[in-house]
Amino acid sequence: MVGMEFQDVVRRRRMVRRFTDEPVPPQAVDRMLRNAVRAPNAGFTQGWAFVVLDTPDGVARFWSATSPRAVAGAGADGVGAAGGAGEGDPGAAAEAGAAAEAAGGARENRWLTGMRTAPVVVVVLTSREAYLRRYAEDDKARASAQAAGDGDAPWDVPYWHVDAGMASLLMLQTAVDEGLGACFFGVPPGQVEALREAFEVPDEFLVTGVVAVGHAADPAPREGAGGPGAGASPSGGSPTRRPRRPLEHVVHRGGW
Ligand SMILES: Cc1cc2nc3c(=O)[nH]c(=O)nc-3n(C[C@H](O)[C@H](O)[C@H](O)COP(=O)(O)O)c2cc1C
């Protein structure tokens, strides 16, 4: 289904971590990018940049750049995961011992095997320096001085990553609207430099994350009963292990 109701796009969106080999229409990727740059962004700085990898060679180079050389439990091709099952999951951090490590390694392998099937990978980059330059301009300088946060930035919040995240969400939603699936994931700090080198990313740009795109290999889950796993992505992820927090736990009307 292409061109859905907005509420359907929001409800259907799940991180997709396994894809079919059906090619992604280039117009769909173009629309994801055109929508991405309509995202709200601080000072209209637009400090983002996107490296689009839509050929088998480009995608393969992405995975080889972002995979550690030697990882316990690495896949048959000897590489590990980029973002992977870790994703800062506190449960994973709490795990200890060889059994947990082996389980984590297996999960990471499954993650990588699935993610490598994505025919398109978009690396989302952002320039902190672009924001500092923008907020030194005449129409922003006074507000920046008044706000005066820590260090040389006028805010405590890294707007460069916030904005790249907003652009990424628009890409994810547009993918759903195009009948595609996508997954946003992070690149571990140890792999960022290799990624930057492989694709000649200028020093100024930081990696916010990556959006993998393709046709979902698994059918979308049925909306329905609550509890962990309900409505979770069939290709795994934290929602298979933890429930969505109820609105009344997170919304504080009129004050905390
Ligand atoms: C900042 C951020 C980082 C994420 N990193 C990863 C990752 O490294 N690997 C992964 O598989 N998913 C990653 N995710 C996806 C989340 O696991 C997912 O959005 C969350 O569990 C909710 O599931 P849903 O998006 O399918 O509804 C990330 C999402 C965000 C917003």
Please name the residue that has the structure tokens 């916010």: 208
Question: How far is C-alpha 114 from the chain's CA centre?
Answer: 15
Tell me the mean pLDDT in the region 190-216: 98
**87 ligand 1 Cβ < 6 A:** yes
Residue 210 in tokens = 């990556």
**185 ligand 1 Cβ < 6 A:** yes
Q: What is the tens place of the pLDDT at every residue in 9-29?
A: 999 999 999 999 999 999 999
- Residue 177 CB contacts under 8 Å (≥ 6 apart), including other chains: 2, 3, 4, 9
**229 ligand 1 Cβ < 6 A:** no
Say yes or no to pLDDT of 93 above 50.
no
For residue 64, how far is its CA from the centre of ligand 1 (angstroms)?
21
- Whether 62 and 112 have beta carbons less than 8 Å apart is answered as no
Q: Which residue has the higher pLDDT, 168 or 228?
A: 168
Residue 238 alpha carbon, nearest atom of ligand 1: 21
Q: What is the pTM of this model?
A: 0.86
Residue 112 in tokens = 């990588």
Question: What is the best residue among 10, 87, 235 to mutate for testing ligand 1's pocket, by most ligand atoms within 8 Å of CB?
Answer: 87
Give the C-alpha separation, 124 to 65, whole Å: 15
Q: What is the tens place of the pLDDT at every residue in 142-179?
A: 777 766 655 666 788 999 999 999 999 999 999 999 99
Tell me the three state secondary structure of residue 24: coil
**Mean per-residue pLDDT over the chain, rounded:** 85
Per-residue pLDDT at 201: 98
User: Among residues of the chain, what percentage have pLDDT more than 70?
Assistant: 78
Per-residue pLDDT at 233: 74
Q: Which residue has the higher pLDDT, 137 or 146?
A: 137
Per-residue pLDDT at 152: 65
Tell me the three state secondary structure of residue 189: helix
- Residue 92 CB contacts under 8 Å (≥ 6 apart), including other chains: 85, 86, 104
- The three-point CA angle 26-109-197 to 5° equals 55
- Residue 90 CB contacts under 8 Å (≥ 6 apart), including other chains: none
6-90+103-250 adopts what CATH topology? Answer: NADH Oxidase (3.40.109)
Question: How far is C-alpha 46 from the chain's CA centre?
Answer: 18
Per-residue pLDDT at 98: 58
Tell me the three state secondary structure of residue 231: coil
Q: Residue 225 to residues 5, 9, 185, 221: CA-CA distances in angstroms? A: 23, 20, 27, 11
Q: Whose CA is nearest to atom 27 of ligand 1?
A: 14
Q: What is the tens place of the pLDDT at every residue in 31-60?
A: 999 999 999 999 999 999 999 999 999 999
Q: What is the tens place of the pLDDT at every residue in 100-121?
A: 667 778 888 999 999 999 999 9
Q: Where are the domains of the chain?
A: 6-90+103-250
Give the C-alpha separation, 117 to 251, whole Å: 38
Per-residue pLDDT at 94: 31
Q: Whose CA is nearest to atom 12 of ligand 1?
A: 185
**238 ligand 1 Cβ < 6 A:** yes
**186 ligand 1 Cβ < 6 A:** yes
Residue 168 alpha carbon, nearest atom of ligand 1: 31
